[in-house]
């Protein structure tokens, strides 16, 4: 192989192919873990366990690389002179680790939502089959969305001949009752977009408003200002009720 490489060189996209192959290894490992059975599964699990241990050790070594740790008091190889016994040894490791933990907690709190776990909605409950015309009645490829949805201001329906998902006008919502968790104030704010629906990417694409959905609302009327003094125009909020049961959208602002 080395002689062939020296004589004829490599493909022009060799590095890219190697990079993609390494990127696919995670997917292949996941597929093997799900599909292997019996002794092969045990051997694969032992191999992955050892790899994870090595990975954690490497990450820990990287974190503690630049940390000044205090020398152990009982270590005879590091004797301390008598005039230094009353001084404190430099121990920045504990302070640094606690600072890292606090920083991670703050970062996690920024993305925490009021409802972390939400019960999903089945497709049978969300979509209703529509059959139109005598010739295509057997196919029935059209669907009516039976859950409340949000569509933008500039939304226009497609030609009925090519429209697969139908969102009825009576189930479209434009505003939500948003509660500020710190100020304990509830205000009706216009919805800008549906950021994430935990049920499925299709629900997010269709703008379905179900319990746990993260939406973007216009908060310009609230007069919120950032630390640097800039006015906040939009913020994320999470839907906390079932709009299909209540007939309105209630949400909590993610501050």
Residue range 86-144, pLDDT digits in tens: 555 555 667 778 888 888 877 776 668 889 888 989 988 999 988 877 765 567 889 99
DSSP secondary structure, the chain, as one string = -HHHHHHH---TTHHHHHHHHHHHHHHHHHHHHHH--HHHHHHHHHHHHHHHHHHHHHHHHHHTTT--PPPPTT-TTS---GGGTTSPP---HHHHHHHHHHHHHHHHHHT--S-S------HHHHEEEE--SSTTTTT--EEEE-S-B---TT--PPPTTT--EE--GGGB--EEEEEETTTTEEEEEEEEEEEE-SS-HHHHHHTB--TT-EEEEE-GGGT-B-TTSPBP-EEEEEE-S-HHHHSS-EEEE--
* Options 3.30.1950.10, 3.10.290.70, 3.50.50.60, 3.20.20.70; CATH of 123-253: 3.10.290.70
pTM of the model: 0.57
pLDDT at 193: 95
pLDDT at 90: 53
Residue range 19-33, pLDDT digits in tens: 999 999 989 989 999
């Amino acid at each position: 192989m080395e002689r062939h490489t020296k004589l004829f060189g490599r493909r022009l996209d060799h590095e890219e192919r190697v990079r993609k192959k390494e990127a696919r290894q995670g997917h292949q490992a996941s597929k093997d873990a799900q599909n292997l059975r019996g002794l092969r599964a045990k051997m694969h699990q032992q191999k992955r366990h050892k790899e994870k241990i090595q990975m954690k050790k490497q990450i820990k070594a990287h974190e503690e690389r630049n940390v000044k740790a205090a020398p152990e008091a009982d270590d005879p190889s590091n004797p301390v002179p008598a005039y230094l016994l009353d001084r404190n040894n430099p121990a920045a490791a504990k302070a640094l680790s606690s600072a890292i933990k606090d920083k991670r907690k703050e970062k996690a709190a920024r993305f925490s939502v009021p409802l972390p776990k939400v019960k999903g909605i089945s497709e049978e409950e969300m979509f209703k089959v529509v059959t139109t015309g005598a010739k295509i009645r057997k196919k029935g490829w059209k669907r009516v969305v039976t859950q409340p949805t949000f569509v933008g201001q500039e939304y226009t329906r497609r030609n009925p001949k090519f429209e697969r998902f139908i969102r009825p006008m009576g189930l479209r919502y434009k505003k939500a009752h948003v509660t500020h968790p710190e100020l304990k104030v509830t205000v009706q704010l216009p919805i800008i977009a549906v950021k994430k629906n935990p049920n499925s990417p299709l629900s997010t694409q269709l703008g379905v408003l179900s319990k746990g959905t993260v939406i973007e609302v216009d908060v310009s009327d609230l007069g919120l200002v950032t630390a640097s003094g800039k006015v906040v125009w939009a913020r994320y909020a999470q839907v906390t009720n079932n709009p299909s049961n209540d007939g309105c959208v209630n949400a909590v602002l993610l501050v």
